[in-house]
Amino acid sequence: MRRRGFLAALLAPALAACGRKAARLAALPAGATVLALGDSITFGTGASTQASYPAVLAGLTGWAVVNAGVPGDTSAAALARLPDLLQQHAPALVLVSIGGNDFLRRVAPDSTRANIRGICRQARDAGAQVVLVGIPEASALAAAARSLGDHAMYEELAAELELPLHAGGWSKVLSDPALRSDAIHANAQGYEAFATGLAQRLRELGLLAG
C-alpha cells in the first residue's frame, strides 16, 4: 500500500500537467467548421435531423457543425472515413464520440483504443483541435438500472494524448428514461440536454466565448 501511494504521488504532478496543457484551447469564431464524428447517437437516431446534437450545438454556438455520425459505425469504420472528412471540411475542431458499437459487438478493447487514438491523432495532425467525448458501455440492463458510466479508456486516452475530455454527457442522458428513445439512443430532449452540457464544457475549455 505504501508503494502504491508513493507511485500515485509521483504520477500526480504529471497528470496535473496533462490537465493544464489540455485545459484551455483556442476560441473558435462564429461560423467556424466543427466536425462531429460518431455513430447513431451523433447522427440523431430517435429524433428528427434538426434535433440531433450537432444541429442543436450549431444553434447554441453559431458554428457550422457537420454531422458526421453514421448509425452502426464502429471506431474502425470512423477511422477509415476520417481522412476524407478532414480533407472535405478542414474542420477547426473535431468532436470524437465513438465506441458504443464496439462495446455492443464486443470488439477487443485494445482495438477500440487504438482506433480512437488514431482518430484523435489524425485530426490533430490535420490542424484541428480535438475534444474526446466519453461513451458508456451501454446495455439495456445498465440503462434500466440508471447506472451507466463512461468506459475507463476515454479518461486514459485523454490523459495519454493530452486532450480535453467531455465526460459523463452520454452516460447521464442514456441513464434517464425520460431522455431516451430506446435503451441506447436519446430522444429530442436527450440530444438537447447532451448538446447543452457539451456547449458548457466547450465554454470552460475556452473554445466557446461568452
Per DSSP, the residues of 21-76 read HTT--PPPPTT-EEEEEESHHHHTTTS-GGGSHHHHHHHHH--EEEEEE-TT--HH
**What pLDDT is stored for residue 17 in this prediction?**
39
Residue with the bigger pLDDT between 101 and 210: it is 101
Domains (range + CATH), the chain: 29-205 (3.40.50.1110)
- How confident is the model over 37-46, as a mean pLDDT? 97
Mean pLDDT (the chain, rounded): 88
Nearest to 99 by CA among 84, 86, 113: 113
Distance from chain centroid for Cα 76? 16
Q: Confidence class of residue 138 from pLDDT cuts 50, 70 and 90?
A: low
Calpha distance 175→191 (Å, rounded): 13
**What pLDDT is stored for residue 209 in this prediction?**
85
Residue 3 contacts residue 185 (beta carbons within 8 Å):
no
**Residue labelled with grid coordinates 480512437:** 116
Can you tell me whether residue 5 is helix, strand or coil? helix
Nearest to 96 by CA among 151, 136, 37, 22: 37
- How confident is the model over 125-129, as a mean pLDDT? 97
Can you tell me whether residue 95 is helix, strand or coil? strand
Whether pLDDT at 166 is above 50: yes
**What pLDDT is stored for residue 137 in this prediction?**
81
Whether pLDDT at 10 is above 60: no
- How confident is the model over 122-132, as a mean pLDDT? 97
| pLDDT tens for each residue of 44-71 | 999 999 999 999 999 999 999 999 999 9
Q: Cell numbers at residue 150, please? A: 463512461
Q: Cell numbers at residue 5, please? A: 501511494
- How confident is the model over 85-100, as a mean pLDDT? 98
Residue 176 contacts residue 190 (beta carbons within 8 Å):
yes
Q: Confidence class of residue 25 from pLDDT cuts 50, 70 and 90?
A: confident
- How confident is the model over 132-142, as a mean pLDDT? 74
**What pLDDT is stored for residue 146 in this prediction?**
63
Q: Does pTM surpass 0.95?
A: no
Residue with the bigger pLDDT between 11 and 176: it is 176
> Residue 209: CB partners within 8 Å, gap ≥ 6?
27, 203
Residue 198 contacts residue 169 (beta carbons within 8 Å):
yes
Whether pLDDT at 9 is above 90: no
